[in-house]
Amino acid sequence: MSLWVDLYRPKTLDDLHYHEGLSNRLRSLAASGDFPHMLFYGPSGAGKKTRIACTLRELFGKGVEKLKIDQRVFMTPSRRKLDVNIVQSNFHIEITPSEVGIYDRVVIQEILKEIAQTQQVDISAKQRFKVVIINEADSLSRDAQAALRRTMEKYMSNMRIILCANSTSKLIAPIKSRCLLVRVAAPSEDEIVKVLQYVASKQPFRSIDQNVAREIAEDSNGNLRKAVLVFEALKMQTPDLSGPLTIAKPDWETYCQKVADMIIQEQSPQRVMEVRSKLYELLVHCIPPNVILKTIADHVVDKVDESLKADIIHWAAIYEVRLRNGNKKIFHLEAWVVKVMTLYKHFFFGIDMDGFD
Amino acid sequence: MSFFQVQAPKKAVKHAYDPALQPWVEKYRPKTIEDVSSQEHTVAVLRRTLTSTNLPHMLFYGPPGTGKTSTILALARQLFGPDNFRSRVLELNASDERGISIVRDKVKNFARQTPRTQAVSSDGQTYPCPPYKIIILDEADSMTQDAQAALRRIMETYARITRFCLVCNYVTRIIDPLASRCSKFRFKPLDPSSTSSRLHHIASAENVHVSEEVISTLIKTSHGDLRRSITYLQSASHLGGSTKPPTPITPSDIQEIAGVVPDSVIKDFAATLGVDAVGDDMEIDSPSKKVTGFDSIRRKVKEIVREGYSGTQVLMQLHDFVIEHPTLSAHKKAQSALVFAEADKALCDGADEELWILEVGLRVHKAVS
Ligand SMILES: Nc1ncnc2c1ncn2[C@@H]1O[C@H](COP(=O)(O)OP(=O)(O)O)[C@@H](O)[C@H]1O
Ligand SMILES: [Mg+2]
């Protein structure tokens, strides 16, 4: 059985719940005939992918929903073989470049050339172009982005590109200037509540208590996917959704919270060692190191004096960049922990920290 | 069964394409070098090459959307006409494989062929069709150093029958031995008046009404990149045209399309940091003077991130707001400027946007209080 998030995912632009102005705009673009290249951006869980799927549906009709997965082999310039799974319909093709790592340029080049050099076979197709969707476009390498530039102009007659990204900051200017930028903001709490009510109305129990819905919405931090998942999970735990509800945090988050507590409770070499083993634990569970850092920092600042908060964030920001570019993630996480402990201790012993950095 | 019918590459790309449905950047791409606006010097020099039989190797450089690709394509078309274009011009860009092996094979092969004799032009016009071929290496700054080095010899050996045109954004990424063999042409960002007249021209050809305000917003948001302003204009015209009766395009439509953060958001954020806008009915010791602290700044940052605004854009606009602030002291501005510079570097290194917007917020807050 499908999850509610998938079951009640809107399929057409008319089904979309919020950002109505944006939906209208997409509808008119799809109808206009000169559909541009597009870049959808916004936080995760805001509904970018759903919106893209609805736009495709508007462009091509029901046929785009017939997907098939192809196993393809690409050859790198150094003659290495790459196996890539590609999702496509008769009208579009979808790629997630991060799956092929540093070889994203090769894959993109091949696919785009192939599409550019083929014509729509289906004569009844509503559009003469095919759409290439590039997911997680912010992780495209510089090389791959450069490869897109002129291609986007040259093959405009039978191809359109839709990029999907969390932020536009990592995309080079020449790409942005070739796309129509579409910002998809996270839904507001009211909007999330409405979606939850809609989901409830489709279920046998028909409705969800206003307060419960609001609580879930608040907890989701604008991530609609998370909100619907939590709703379904809660419903499984407490079928009548009454009494005090606790929205379970994911294990790793509780774990991060514990680490934050440990840092505040004691500042000693011994404690650093204990924290380190916890950090290792999180890392082996594949929690991204920058998420670990951010989450711990977020909890630490809640527990310290106002005058320390800014410094803690400052060092979190510094070490976050370092761990991204560095190789040994644990070094940087640990360095930050030690930094925070030092700040904290000095604060309590009233030692002047000026000139210490 | 393959869902794509792969055809021979050469045939496929060319097929009838309803001009009404073409993106305006393509539709209004300069057809001749005379159509290229704002690059008077370059055009003047190139005009002379149309009447002489000589052409140096060339290096076009400048920011995106200033007409580099258009100029060389227009020049090549004017030199050879549509019929000889294929046999005389090789265009390779960053989307083509251009590693060292391709340079050695494809580029070299094309470079060494003796130019074919002029085919009779089918459109009844005569073209100069000088006795050489042109190899256009567009987006050449993304070629590896090795591949560039391999070009060097080819450029020299076949100079008599082949001219190169390298096109790039950053001239410093072209190795010196190549750059020194070329005549260099710098393409400037388009000045406001050329941008304005080009946009007016397109708007009237497309029957779109645009106000002066809209044009000036287009100019402001596109920073001399004409491709960008044309794309924005076309997108905006869709929005207006989709309603009945058509609604006129507004400057804020353009801002949204361009990804610009609304001024009110920036003002609000700045106020949270303790930098108030001067000018709006300010009351001396007004009770609304907010006491701001960590939590309210963090909340504001989360709000901004949830709206999906790009981190670099937020910081750029906040930077302008703070640095151009009429009453803030120079000392405070200087301290803030340091933070913005650090943040820009961090974001280029791939840093977390939320964390750095918060970091900038906190430090600007500290600097001004
Ligand atoms: N100087 C210019 N004069 C007229 N149109 C221009 C000029 N520069 C750019 N454009 C417009 O912008 C589009 C992109 O220009 P292009 O030559 O591809 O820029 P680039 O310098 O990035 O190669 C063209 O299709 C054209 O419509
Ligand atoms: Mg170009």
Name the residue with higher pLDDT: B19 or A215. A215
Task: Classify domain A251-348 by CATH architecture.
Answer: Up-down Bundle (1.20)
Identity of the highest mean pLDDT range in A76-80, A206-210, A254-258: A254-258
Looking at residue B270, its pLDDT comes to 96
Q: Is the pTM of this model over 0.90?
A: no
- Identify which of A118, A155, A309 has the shortest CB distance to residue B7: A118
Q: Cβ separation of B308 and A77 shorter than 8 Å?
A: no
Taking CB atoms and a 6 Å cutoff, what residues make up the pocket around ligand 1?
A: B 25, 28-30, 36-39, 64-70, 187, 190, 198, 226-227, 230
Q: What integer best gives the mean pLDDT of chain A? A: 88
Q: Is residue B62 part of a domain?
A: yes
Q: What is the CATH number of the domain that holds B139?
A: 3.40.50.300
Residues β-bridged to residue B183: B58
CA atoms of A45 and B330, how far apart (whole Å): 42
The whole-number pLDDT of residue A121 equals: 64
Q: Going by C-beta distance under 8 Å and a sequence separation of 6 or more, which residues neighbour residue A293?
A: A316, A319, A320, A323, A332, A333, A336
Which runs of E-coded beta strand occur in chain A? 38-41, 68-75, 81-88, 92-95, 118-119, 130-134, 159-165, 180-183
User: Among candidates B172, B205, B156, which has minimal Cα distance to B28?
Assistant: B205
Of A119-123, A218-222, B1-5, the one with minimum mean pLDDT is B1-5
Quick count: other Cβ atoms within 10 Å of Cβ B109? Answer: 11
Q: Per-residue confidence at A266, pLDDT binned at 50, 70, 90?
A: very high
Output the pLDDT for position B19.
63
ipTM beyond cut 0.85:
yes
**CATH number of the domain residue B201 falls in:** 1.10.8.60
Number of helical H runs and strand E runs in chain A: 14, 8
Together in a domain, B24 and B164: yes
- Two structure tokens written together for B288: 């609304």
* Pair of tokens at residue A259: 């680490």
Residue B332 lies in a domain: yes
**Do B220 and B293 belong to one domain?**
no
Q: Is B175 found in the same domain as B60? A: yes
* Residue B63 near residue B34, CB atoms below 8 Å: no
**B245 and B36 in contact (C-beta within 8 Å)?**
no
Q: Give the dihedral sign, CA A198/A200/A204/A208.
A: negative
pLDDT of amino acid A164: 96
Cα(B200)–Cα(B212) distance, integer angstroms: 9
Question: B253 and B300: one domain?
Answer: no
B215-260 pLDDT per residue, tens: 999 999 998 999 999 989 988 887 776 666 778 899 988 998 888 9
Q: Which domain holds residue B205?
A: 192-258
In this predicted structure, what is the pLDDT of residue A273? 95
Verify that B27 and B88 share a domain, yes or no. Answer: yes
pLDDT digits (tens, 9 = 90+) for A273-298: 999 999 999 999 999 999 999 999 99
> pLDDT higher for A335 or A80?
A335
pLDDT in tens, A84-98: 888 999 899 998 887
Q: Between residues B342 and B100, which one has the greater pLDDT?
A: B342
B105 or B315: which leads in pLDDT: B315
CATH number (domain holding residue B310)? 1.20.272.10
Report pLDDT for B13. 39
pLDDT in tens, A128-137: 889 999 999 9
> How far is it, in rounded angstroms, from Cα A20 to Cα B294?
34
Does one domain contain both B223 and B89?
no
Cα angle, residue A330 at apex, residues A166 and A284 outer, rounded to 5°: 75
Tell me, yes or no, if B25 comes closer than 8 A to chain A by beta carbon: yes
Locate A170 and state its tokens: 């990592």
CA-based nearest residue in chain A for residue B143: A143
d(CA B49, CA B66): 21
Q: Is the pLDDT of residue B285 over 60?
A: no
**Residue B4 with chain A: CB contacts under 8 Å:** 114-115, 118, 121
CA neighbor of A227 nearest in space, from A256, A278, A267, A191: A191
Largest CA distance in chain A: 78
Average pLDDT over residues B5-28: 59
Distance CA A147, CA A106 (A): 9
Instruction: Quote the ligand 2 centre to B258 CA distance (angstroms).
Output: 20
Q: What is the pLDDT of residue A351?
A: 61
Report which residue type is found at B153: R
Work out whether the CA dihedral A84, A88, A91, A97 comes out positive or negative.
negative
How large is the average pLDDT for residues A243-270?
88
Sorting pLDDT into bands at 50, 70 and 90, what band is B12? very low
- Note the pLDDT of residue A317: 97
Boundary of a domain, candidates B166, B186, B206: B186
CA dist B163 and B57 (Å) reads: 5
Give residue B243's pLDDT.
Answer: 62
Which-ligand-closest: CA of B36?
A: 1
Answer with the one of B142, B164, B186 that is the final residue of a domain. B186
Residues carrying CATH 3.40.50.300, chain A? 4-183
- pLDDT value at residue B63: 93
β-partners of residue B136 are: B91, B165
In the reported structure, the alpha carbon of residue B33 is separated from the centroid of ligand 1 by a whole-number distance in angstroms of: 11
**Residues B224, B159 within the same domain:** no
For chain A, the C-alpha Rg in angstroms (whole number) is 24
Write the residue with the smallest CA distance to atom 10 of ligand 1.
B67
Pocket test for ligand 1, best of B26, B29, B232 (most atoms within 8 A of CB): B29
Atom of ligand 1 nearest to the CA of B36: 3
Reported confidence tier of residue A310, pLDDT bands at 50, 70, 90: very high
What is the B65 CA–ligand 1 centroid distance (Å)?
5
Q: What pLDDT score does A106 carry?
A: 87
Q: What is the pLDDT of residue A101?
A: 79
Alpha-carbon distances, residue A205 vs A35, A200, B30, B156, B241 (angstroms): 42, 7, 63, 80, 44
Q: Are residues B181 and B81 in the same domain?
A: yes
| Domain end (from B186, B206, B230) | B186
Q: What is the pLDDT of residue A328?
A: 93
pLDDT of residue A235: 86
Q: Are residues B156 and B243 in the same domain?
A: no
B28, B160: one domain:
yes
Tell me where in chain A the CATH 1.20.272.10 domain(s) lie: 251-348
**Which residues of chain A are within 8 Å of residue B96 when distances are taken between CB atoms?**
109
Residues B165 and B62 in one domain: yes
pLDDT bracket for residue B5 (50, 70, 90): very low
Ligand 2 mean position to B161 CA, how many Å? 25
- Residue B28: which residues within 8 A CB-CB, separation 6 or more? B198, B201, B202, B205, B230
CB < 8 Å to B7, chain A: 117-119
Q: How much is the average pLDDT of B79-102?
A: 84
Report whether pLDDT(B123) > 90: no
Q: What are phi and psi of B175, to 5 degrees?
A: -65, 150
Other beta carbons within 10 angstroms of residue B104's beta carbon come to: 15
* Tens digit of each residue's pLDDT (9 = 90 or more) over B155-213: 999 999 999 999 999 999 999 999 999 999 999 999 999 999 999 999 999 999 999 99
Q: State how many domains chain B has.
A: 3
Q: Which residues from B are below 8 Å from A303, CB to CB?
A: none
State residue B110's pLDDT score: 92
CB-based burial label for B173 (10 Å; 0-12, 13-18, 19+): middle
CB B313 within 8 A of CB B262: no
Three-state secondary structure readout of chain B: CCCCEECCHHHHHCCCCCHHHCCHHHHCCCCCHHHCCCCHHHHHHHHHHHHCCCCCCEEEECCCCCCHHHHHHHHHHHHHHHHHHHHHEEEECCCCCCCHHHHHHHHHHHHHCCCCCCCCCCCCCCCCCCCCEEEEECCHHHCCHHHHHHHHHHHHHCCCCEEEEEEECCHHHCCHHHHCCCEEEECCCCCHHHHHHHHHHHHHHCCCCCCHHHHHHHHHHHCCCHHHHHHHHHHHHHHHHCCCCCCCCCHHHHHHHHCCCCHHHHHHHHHHCCCCCCCCCCCCCCCCCCCCCHHHHHHHHHHHHHCCCCHHHHHHHHHHHHHCCCCCCHHHHHHHHHHHHHHHHHHHCCCCHHHHHHHHHHHHHHHHC
Contact B138 A115 (CB under 8 A): no
For residue B145, tell me if it sits in a domain: yes
The answer to whether residues A93 and A65 touch, using CB atoms and an 8 Å cutoff, is no
pLDDT given at position B100: 78
Q: Which residue has the tokens 């507590």?
A: A261
**Class of the CATH-defined domain A4-183:** alpha beta
Model confidence at B329, in pLDDT bands (50, 70, 90)?
Answer: very high
Measured CA to CA, the distance from residue A241 to residue A216 in angstroms comes to: 12
B40 and B166 part of one domain: yes
Nearest-atom number in ligand 1 for the CA of B227 is 12
d(CA A122, CA A119) in angstroms, rounded, equals 9
